[in-house]
Structure 1
Amino acid sequence: MLLLNETIPRNDKVRLLWRGETRISITPFKPLPEPKGLEAIKGEIGQRWPMTGLLDVLKEAALDTGLLEAFETSASRVALSREALDRRLLLCLYGLGTNAGLKRVAGATPDVSYDELLHVHRRFIHAPALREACARVANATLAIRNAAVWGDAGTACASDSTKFGAWDRNLMTEWHARYGGRGVMIYWHVEKRATCVYSQLKRCSSSEVASMIEGVLRHCTDMEIQRQYVDSHGQSAVGFAFCRLLGFELAPRLKAIARQKLAIPEAGMRARLPNLLPILSGAINWDEIEQQYDEMVKYTAAMQTRTADPEAVLRRFARAEVMHPDLQGAERTRPRGQDDLSMPLPSTGSLPPGNP
């Protein structure tokens, strides 16, 4: 906060206003120019592989990463040969992944019937196997990258959700209040170079903050996430608190950034921050945090050890009719009509860091 107070007078992109509800004015960044040589690379790829099908890409990925080894049967024995099983697994994954369906894939493949693909689908393809296969592809992608060309993989990740239409008979289908229409949400975690490290199915009304925490804790790749970028729907005051305790930094894009306030560590610090006076709110109640700190660590450890689901934990802090005791102190110290940009907490001490 002291560094921000010193540098903001020289920042030509951010201005602090003294009047009105809009106190923070930010100038948008200009789009970056297209990297040199990108057009040449696209042309060379088009000449070498002009008509490469998705099924060929899936087959090459399976040969390079061994992702098909993650699919094990739920039956007591396997009568199929490995070659026949791998072929049917590739066809099933292609039909399900492209939404073409097993019947259409079987109709385009003379020597494989729909019943054979359906048998493999029921006996071999399940959620844990799919997660293991996706993790193998992501780890192989991260390992094979040339750092001189792609740069360091880093420890930053971005996440957001996408709405997909779904039939009403799907138990997770809901009406989306913002996008309209019935469907479900897929929440993606993507690293800096556009490799998906985790994805999850969620309801339209479920918390994106909980999905963000779920992806950071449950992704099975070799990537270590230390900073998580989200949009306005993926952050909250409670989310800032749990991310701090879980050992990674939450970096949201705030839609209402113009109305945000900064909480100060102590009341006497206002005199040391003359350039930030328009956006300063009340002082943090450290005594209240100290009293509820053990409870916060308990909930954090429950999420990290998979004893409790993040959405179930965050739901306890979001109920308006019965406020959780751990939030009462923060609400008493927050001025009415203002949102704090952060919710600082003491050091985590002996709590295990970051990803388990």
Structure 2
Amino acid sequence: LLQTGALPVAVELDFDRFIESRRTLLDERLAAVEARARDGLLPGVTIDKGVLKITPIEKSTPPEAEALAARLYAMLPRIRITDLLAEVAGWTLLPNCFTHLRTGETAADSRILMAGLLADGLNLGLTRMAEACSIASLGQLAWTADWHIRDETYALALRRLVNQQQREPFAAKFGSGTASSSDGQFFQAAGFGRDASNLNAHYGQKPGFKVYTHLSDRYGPFYSKLIAATASEALYVLDALLYHQSEVSPRRHHTDGGGDSDHVFALCVLLGFQFAPRIPDLKHRRLYSFGKPSDYPTLEPMIAGRINVALICTYWPEILRIIASIRTGTVTASLIMRQLASYPRQNGVAAALRELGRLERTLFTLDWINDPELRRATGQELNKGESRNSLARAVFIHRLGEIRDRTYENQQHRVSGLNLLVTAIILWNTRYLERAVAALRQVEDVPDHLLAHLSPLGWEHVNLTGDYVWAAAEQMTENPDGFRPLRLPADLSRLAA
């Protein structure tokens, strides 16, 4: 493949041409930032005696957008979580994804199947779900879960909902569809779950797990994985981008400091992704150059040294083989990342990738310093992920929000059920927010630029607790168009009448 030029790599295969293009780019960026820093023209940034200081980006959501969001959510119909899931299932034929392990047939009663999904997503468990719903016994729920609910069917169902979210016309208001973010969320462990959990002092004195979730800029949570509480999030950044199987196609990916590493920077550029993390303590991170640091007097105290081009060149063929293996799925990116992290610092391939990562991190840092819009966009995408985590925390309401399952399979089912349920709420909110905007526009102007600040992550109108009652299909909606009526204010109600 290397000889034919058919390697699935996103950069120039010839090392000399590749490194020359990066050299030209880095020299240009360093010169530009040096000139602007010297003249005090970097927006929101000062470099004084080599100390970098970046003024935080001001809040970008205008008060009018917050007021609009409150009005729109007040118009959404109140709904039980059972009805919401059934409505989304009707739109997407979601139960068809959960086929029988042996026969491939769909569940005979989709309500029992969805009760099993709720048992996972709400962290209620099958025993208590059988007590809280009137449609199935514990035996029926357990049989349906054993034969229909498994990792691959959860993946198919999530793909279907995420794809629908990406296609929603109103979701295009939230983002271009070309960016994504990822973030870890800690869940405490209890009961049998404590045996497999880890203690991470960052999250307190109780053991637990992290759930690492990737979210598209249109609010599609296209990947969610249970990882150890002590695991580095950077190991799992690329798995979702490469293997998620949905229609999400991000070109730029954002993480917080947990996902940042030089190896991730290197692998991302080779795989064709723009990596844009929010690097913590950026003023303490060093830059690198091809030329003499003294060529850039203002930046010189921030530059640790030169890029070791010879080291990268020596291991370039091995690096290309690693990228080809990752891209073709011969080995997962997380496994490669874990191996690279475990190697001693003198390991050649790991050191060469780290050196390439330093180059790419320097390019990104210069962009970050020079471009306030990049800083703002990164903050906005990471805020989406944090808001999604708040919704997930609210949905995972039972058993004190603790993971108590003994086996990894059952623990991952909890995570998959939670992510599926969160995605269903996001899709439902997106469609009804679109209808609320259309209704409001009958009496007043609603500027498009305000809609970009809306979020389909609200849940106050969703009843997540109580008895889990399933209505008959003919009782699901009251409107002939198949949607529930909005809660219209008086002026809109008179117009509708």
Q: Does 1:74 align with 2:101?
A: yes
Residue by residue over 1:138-169, the C-alpha shift from the partner in whole angstroms, topping out at 9 and shown as x without a partner, is 1101111337x715433111111001112364
Fraction of identical pairs, as percent: 24
Instruction: Give 1:39's aligned amino acid.
Output: A
Secondary structure of the residue aligned to 1:146 is helix
Distance across 1 between alignment mates of 2:309 and 2:58:
41
Measure how far apart 1:309 and its partner are: 2.7
Match of residue 294, structure 1, among 305, 317, 332: 317
> In 2, are the aligned partners of 1:316 and 1:324 still within 8 Å (CA)?
no
Distance across 2 between alignment mates of 1:275 and 1:27:
19
> In 2, are the aligned partners of 1:263 and 1:341 still within 8 Å (CA)?
no
Q: Does 1:56 align with 2:79?
A: no
Residue by residue over 1:108-131, the C-alpha shift from the partner in whole angstroms, topping out at 9 and shown as x without a partner, is 333411100100000000011111
Secondary structure of the residue aligned to 2:231 is coil
Distance across 1 between alignment mates of 2:237 and 2:355:
27
Q: For residues 27 and 218 of structure 1, do their structure 2 counterparts lie closer, same or farther at Cα, with a shift above 3 Å needed?
A: same
Distance across 1 between alignment mates of 2:127 and 2:67:
39
Q: For residues 280 and 48 of structure 1, do their structure 2 counterparts lie closer, same or farther at Cα, with a shift above 3 Å needed?
A: closer
Structure with more helix by fraction: 2
> In 2, are the aligned partners of 1:285 and 1:330 still within 8 Å (CA)?
no
Match of residue 6, structure 1, among 26, 32, 35: 35
Distance across 2 between alignment mates of 1:32 and 1:74:
49
* 2:396 aligned residue: none
Structure 1: unaligned runs, 5 residues or longer: 345-356
Measure how far apart 1:136 and its partner are: 0.8
Moved more, 106-115 or 91-100: 106-115
* 2:211 aligned residue: 186
> In 1, are the aligned partners of 2:100 and 2:107 still within 8 Å (CA)?
no
Q: For residues 77 and 247 of structure 1, do their structure 2 counterparts lie closer, same or farther at Cα, with a shift above 3 Å needed?
A: closer
Distance across 2 between alignment mates of 1:94 and 1:331:
44
Match of residue 324, structure 1, among 344, 347, 352: 347
> In 2, are the aligned partners of 1:226 and 1:249 still within 8 Å (CA)?
yes
Distance across 1 between alignment mates of 2:276 and 2:72:
37
Instruction: Give 2:245's aligned amino acid.
Output: C
Residue by residue over 1:250-297, the C-alpha shift from the partner in whole angstroms, topping out at 9 and shown as x without a partner, is 111111201122111233x742x3442232231112121111111112
> In 2, are the aligned partners of 1:174 and 1:204 still within 8 Å (CA)?
yes
Match of residue 272, structure 2, among 247, 268, 286: 247
Q: For residues 218 and 330 of structure 1, do their structure 2 counterparts lie closer, same or farther at Cα, with a shift above 3 Å needed?
A: closer
Alignment RMSD, CA only? 2.7
Structure 2: unaligned runs, 5 residues or longer: 1-28, 364-497
Instruction: Give 1:92's aligned amino acid.
Output: G
TM-score, structure 1 as length reference: 0.83
Measure how far apart 1:97 and its partner are: 0.6
> In 1, are the aligned partners of 2:325 and 2:331 still within 8 Å (CA)?
yes
The 5 A counterparts of 1:93-132 are: 93-132=117-156
> In 1, are the aligned partners of 2:166 and 2:218 still within 8 Å (CA)?
no
> In 1, are the aligned partners of 2:188 and 2:209 still within 8 Å (CA)?
yes
The 5 A counterparts of 1:159-198 are: 159-167=182-190, 169-170=192-193, 172-180=196-204, 181-198=206-223
Measure how far apart 1:77 and its partner are: 7.0
Secondary structure of the residue aligned to 2:58 is coil
> In 2, are the aligned partners of 1:165 and 1:184 still within 8 Å (CA)?
yes
* 2:48 aligned residue: 17
Q: For residues 134 and 264 of structure 1, do their structure 2 counterparts lie closer, same or farther at Cα, with a shift above 3 Å needed?
A: same
> In 2, are the aligned partners of 1:282 and 1:333 still within 8 Å (CA)?
no
The 5 A counterparts of 1:196-345 are: 196-267=221-292, 270-271=294-295, 273-319=296-342, 321=344, 323-328=346-351, 342=361
Secondary structure of the residue aligned to 1:30 is coil
Instruction: Give 2:149's aligned amino acid.
Output: I
Distance across 1 between alignment mates of 2:240 and 2:93:
24
Distance across 1 between alignment mates of 2:329 and 2:57:
40
Distance across 1 between alignment mates of 2:275 and 2:147:
40
Q: For residues 274 and 85 of structure 1, do their structure 2 counterparts lie closer, same or farther at Cα, with a shift above 3 Å needed?
A: same
Structure with more strand by fraction: 1
Distance across 2 between alignment mates of 1:208 and 1:238:
12
TM-score, structure 2 as length reference: 0.61
Name the structure, 1 or 2, with higher relative contact order (CA <8 Å, separation 6+). 2
